Amino acid sequence: MPINRNTLMRIRIIDNCLQRRQRTWTLEDLREACEKELLEKEGICGISTRTIQRDIELMRSDKLGYNAPIIVKNKKYYTYEDLDYSITKLPLSQKDLNELSSALEIIKHYNGFSNMSGQEDILTRMQDKIACQTDNQKVVFIETNEKLKGLNFLGPLFEAIKKKEALAIEYKSFKAKRESRLYISPYILKEFNNRGFLIGMSTKNIIMTLALDRIIAIKKDDKHQYTNNTIFDPETYLGEMVGVTRDLDSKVETVILWVSEKQAPYVETKPFHHTQEIEKENVDGSKIFRLRIIINHELERKILGYGPHIKVIEPKHLKQRIANELILAAERYRVD
C-alpha cells in the first residue's frame, strides 16, 4: 500500500522531535506534536496514539529504507539510540537513484523552462551526481520537436503566473495580417498535441487562449493590475474538453460514436476523453462509445483522423459538421 503524504509528514515531525534531546518524548508527546503541526499546516486533527505507533514501526522497518534505531527508555521515553541519527541524513538508495535518474530525463524534456533562474545549473549538478552512481542508461524517449517556436517563453510565463504578474504580449495569430499587443493576466500553461498554450484573462474580462508559437515578445504590464481568476476552476475548465479551444459558456454534451472493429481497440485503449464509456459491443466487433464533453475544434480533428472507421451518431450538429468535412475532402481528391 502506498505511503501517503500525511504519513510522511508525521514521520518528519517525529524525527524532528527525537533529534531534540534536551527533553524526553513519550508516545503522547509525539502524538501531540504531530497533531499540533498538522492542524496548523493541513487542518488535520484527531491523530490517534495507534497511528503514531504505526509510524514508529514504519520508521524502524526497511520499507522506506530508514531502519531507524528508535528505542524506548524506562518503558516510556522514545529516543534514537544513535545520537547522530536522522532520516534526513540518509543517503539515497540505488532504487531511489534509478527512479530519480528516470524522472530527470522527463524533466529535461521540458527544456523550455531552462531559462528559469538557476534551474539549468541545478539539473546539470543533479545529472552529474546521479551519473556517478548509476549506469545512466537512457530508457525514456519522449516525442519532442526542439524547433518549435515559443518554447523560450515557457519560463517567463511560468514565473509570471506564480508571481501573479500582468503581461503585455506581442502576438500575431495565423489569421491576423499584423501583430497586436494584448494585455493579459496569465493563469494556465497547457500542452496539447506537442504545442504550448497560455490561458488567461484580458483587460476586457475575456478568457484568452494564446499559442506560444504565435507570441513574438512578452514583458511585464505596468499599466494594468493583475486580475485574479475568480471565473473558472482550471481543472474543470480543461477537464471538460479535449485540447484548449472553448467558449466560457460552452456546454458539455453527450457524444455517441460508432467505431469499426479494426479501430475500436485503439479508441478503447486510448480514449478521446476521460468520460468515455463503451455503450454497446456489436457482433461484428465494432463498438459504440459515449462521451460527456465540450465539442470543439480539437475533438473534430481527432474524429476526422479515424476517417471511415468512425461515425458520429449523436449529436446531429456534430454529425453534420463531420460529414461536411469528409465530403469536402472527397471532393478535393476527385479526379478531373
The three-state secondary structure class of 246 is coil
Q: How confident is the model at residue 279 (pLDDT cuts 50, 70, 90)?
A: very high
- pTM of structure: 0.61
CA distance 124 to 31: 41
Highest mean pLDDT among 81-85, 137-141, 234-238, 316-320: 316-320
- In this predicted model, what pLDDT tens digit does every residue of 22-71 receive, in sequence order? 899 999 999 999 999 988 887 777 889 999 999 999 999 988 778 899 99
Q: Which residue has the cell 518503558?
A: 75
Q: How confident is the model at residue 328 (pLDDT cuts 50, 70, 90)?
A: very high
93/285: higher pLDDT: 285
Q: How confident is the model at residue 13 (pLDDT cuts 50, 70, 90)?
A: very high
Specify whether the CB–CB gap between 104 and 113 falls below 8 A.
no
Ranges for all domains in the chain classified under CATH 1.10.10: 5-89
**Average pLDDT score over residue span 214-237:** 91
Whether the pLDDT of residue 153 is over 90: the answer is no
Ranges for all domains in the chain classified under CATH 2.30.30: 151-239
Concatenate the DSSP letters of all residues of 37-57 into one string: HHHHHH------HHHHHHHHH
**Res 117: pLDDT:** 47
Q: How far is CA 251 from CA 72, 179, 274, 292, 293, in A?
A: 62, 32, 17, 10, 8
- In this predicted model, what pLDDT tens digit does every residue of 170-219 receive, in sequence order? 999 888 888 889 999 999 998 888 788 999 999 988 899 999 989 999 99
Cell for 212? 506560444
CA distance 241 to 270: 15
- Residues paired with 210 in a beta bridge: 198
Specify whether the CB–CB gap between 290 and 255 falls below 8 A.
yes
- In this predicted model, what pLDDT tens digit does every residue of 234-264 receive, in sequence order? 889 999 999 998 877 889 999 999 999 999 9
**Res 76: pLDDT:** 92
DSSP state letter for 194: T
Sheet holding 207-211, edge to edge: 207-211, 195-202, 180-192, 167-171, 215-220
CA distance 303 to 287: 15
CA distance 4 to 194: 32
Concatenate the DSSP letters of all residues of 109-169 into one string: H-GGGTTSTTHHHHHHHHHHHHHHHS-----------TT-TTGGGHHHHHHHHHHT--EEE
CATH code for 5-89? 1.10.10
What class has domain 151-239? mainly beta
Ranges for all domains in the chain classified under CATH 3.30.70: 253-333
Does the domain made of 253-333 have the CATH classification 3.40.1010? no
CA distance 315 to 131: 54
